[in-house]
Amino acid sequence: MKSQGYGMVMTSTQVDETAQHFYRKLGYKDCGGFVIDIPAYAQPMEMFFIKSVLSDS
């Protein structure tokens, strides 16, 4: 992403998945989430993570 000129990356995972711990270990920071609680579509909360890819951050 950095080589393509991006300064930040964003990813997401559900709160019931262990990937959130992996992303935090890589330096990603929590930045929000959302919940879908309509019965036919209900699922665990989706968490968003961001990380700077700039060399001075």
* Residue-wise pLDDT tens digits, 2-27: 889 999 999 999 999 999 999 999 99
What distance in Å separates the CA atoms of residue 46 and residue 17, rounded to the nearest whole number?
10
Q: According to the model, what pLDDT value does residue 56 have?
A: 56
The pTM of the whole model exceeds 0.85: no
Strands of 29-34's sheet, edge to edge? 8-14, 46-52, 29-34
Mean pLDDT to the nearest integer, 30-47:
96
> What stretches of the chain show up as alpha helix (H) in DSSP?
19-25
C-alpha 33, offset from chain centre: 9
CB 20 within 8 A of CB 44: no
Q: According to the model, what pLDDT value does residue 54 have?
A: 87
- For the chain, the average pLDDT equals 93
Residue 34 has which token pair? 């959302």
Q: According to the model, what pLDDT value does residue 44 have?
A: 95
